[in-house]
Amino acid sequence: MSLGFLTSAEGPVGTKLNAPSKLSTSNTIYEFSGFWKDQNGNLYKQADFGTTYPSGDINFTATFLDLPRLYNVKFYDYEGTLLVEDVLTWGENI
């Protein structure tokens, strides 16, 4: 993936990085958490790219948090009175 961010010894050249996205599923929401710098395993976030400049070629891999998708579930009686309200995750028994 090309990140569209070039640097030189004098500072940034090119465009600022945009956070990548990953499509959510019915049971999981993916939230961007940063880029891993492969050779040292350090986590770099977008804000770091104004202060840290590579001195050579470097590869980054986007990382994501896997968050459970939550659903608000409400049960009403036949008159429309709320009986129970709960927050459930995908696949959880009601």
Query: pLDDT digits over 31-84, tens only?
Result: 988 776 656 666 666 555 555 555 666 667 788 999 999 999 999 999 999 999
pLDDT at 38: 55
Is 85 within 8 Å of 71 (Cβ atoms)? no
Is residue 19 a part of any domain in this protein? Answer: yes
Look at the chain and report how many structural domains it folds into. 1
Is residue 80 a part of any domain in this protein? Answer: no
Is residue 34 a part of any domain in this protein? Answer: yes
Taking the C-alpha atoms of residue 16 and residue 18, their distance in angstroms, rounded to an integer, is 6
Taking the C-alpha atoms of residue 92 and residue 69, their distance in angstroms, rounded to an integer, is 11
Is residue 9 a part of any domain in this protein? Answer: yes
Confidence band (pLDDT; 50, 70, 90) for 1? Answer: very low
Is residue 64 a part of any domain in this protein? Answer: yes
Does residue 5 have a pLDDT over 50? no
